[in-house]
Chain A
Amino acid sequence: MTWTAVADVLAGICLVSGAFLAFAAGVGVLRFPDLLARMHAGTKPQVLGLILLLTGEALRVRNLQVLGILVLIVIFQLLTAPVAAHMVGRAGYRTGKVRSELLVVDELTADHFQSAVPAPRSEPDHGLDNPAPRKD
C-alpha cells in the first residue's frame, strides 16, 4: 500500500465528512424552529465542513500551489463567516426574530431591561430632533 493510496483514502474520508456536514446543515436549516437555531445549523459546513472538503482536495491533488490557494480560501472564510453571522444575528435580534422563550440564556435582553432609562429633560433641547421655535 503506497502513500498515494493512503492519501486517497484519507481524502475520501475527508470529502465524505465535509459533504455529510453540509447535508446536516441542510436538514437543520429546514427543520429547526428559530432563526438562531438555523444559524447554528448553517454555520457547521461554513468552517469545519469547508476545511474538511479542502483538506480532501489538497490530499487528492498533492500540489503546493493548490495548497496555497486552499489555505487562502480557509483563512478568508474564517475571517468572513463570524462577521456575516454577527450581522445576521444582530439584525434578527433587532427585528424581533429571536424567540426568547426558546433560549436557555438571554443576557442581551436582561441587559436591556437593567440599563437605566434616561430621565426626560425638563426643557427641550434644540438639536436636530427638536428644533427651536422659529422667531420670524
Chain B
Amino acid sequence: MTVVAIVCAALLLGAAVLALIRAERGPSMLDRTVALDVFVTALVGGIVVEAALTGRTDTLPLLVVLSMVGFVGSVTIARFAAAEPKGEGRVRTAEEIAQEEAARAGKEIDHALVNGEPRDLHEPKYPRSLPENPEKGGDR
C-alpha cells in the first residue's frame, strides 16, 4: 500500500504543478479557472490517498468543502468574465485617463491640466459668455 501511495502522490503532485504552471501562464481568466479546478481536484486526490493510506476518516468533510469551493469559485469567475481586449492590464497614462473621463463627462479635454502647463487656477475654466447657440442656449 505504501508503494501505491507513493505512486499516487507523485502523479498528483505532477498534476498540481502542471496545473499551477497553466494558471500562471493562462492567457485569460477562464484558463486559470480551469487550471485551478484541476489543482483542486489534485488536492482532493491527495486527501483521499492520505486517508486511504492511514485509514483515517476525519478528513472526509474536507472533500465536500473543497469541491464546493471549487464549484463556487469557477462559477463566479465565469459569471463575471468580460472580454479582455489586447493591451488590457497595462497601466494607462495620465493623458489616456483624462481623455476617458472627459469622454465620459461629455466635455472637452483640458490640455493644460493634462500636459502640466502652468495655469491660473482662479481663472474660469470655460468662457463666461456662453457661445452663440440659439437652439440650446435659451433653456438654461
Asked if B57 CB lies within 8 Å of chain A CBs, one says yes
Asked if B21 CB lies within 8 Å of chain A CBs, one says yes
User: Are the C-beta atoms of A16 and B7 separated by less than 8 Å?
Assistant: yes
Q: Place the interface of chain A in its size category.
A: 35 or more
> Footprint of A on B, CB under 8 Å?
1, 4-5, 7-9, 11-12, 14-19, 21-22, 28, 30-31, 33-35, 37-38, 41-42, 44-45, 48-49, 51-52, 55, 57, 60-61, 63-64, 67-68, 70-71, 74-75, 77-79, 81-84
Complex-state Cα separation, A29 to B32, whole angstroms: 10
Complex-state Cα separation, A25 to B34, whole angstroms: 10
User: Are the C-beta atoms of B22 and A84 separated by less than 8 Å?
Assistant: no
User: Are the C-beta atoms of B30 and A88 separated by less than 8 Å?
Assistant: yes
Asked if A27 CB lies within 8 Å of chain B CBs, one says yes
Residues of A within 8 A of B38 (CB): 22, 25-26, 29, 42, 45
Return 23 A-B CB contacts under 8 Å, by A number: A16-B11, A19-B49, A20-B11, A25-B38, A27-B15, A29-B22, A29-B34, A30-B21, A35-B34, A42-B38, A54-B48, A56-B52, A57-B51, A66-B57, A73-B67, A76-B68, A83-B71, A87-B74, A88-B74, A91-B78, A92-B81, A95-B30, A95-B82
User: Are the C-beta atoms of B16 and A87 separated by less than 8 Å?
Assistant: no
Secondary structure of the A side of the interface?
A: helix
Q: Could you say which of B21, B55, B63, B83 contacts A96, with CB atoms under 8 Å apart?
A: B83
User: Are the C-beta atoms of A45 and B41 separated by less than 8 Å?
Assistant: yes
Residues of A within 8 A of B15 (CB): 19, 22-23, 25-27, 45
Complex-state Cα separation, A66 to B51, whole angstroms: 11
Segment from A7-15, A105-113, A119-127 that makes contact with B: A7-15
User: Are the C-beta atoms of B52 and A61 separated by less than 8 Å?
Assistant: yes
User: Are the C-beta atoms of B8 and A57 separated by less than 8 Å?
Assistant: no
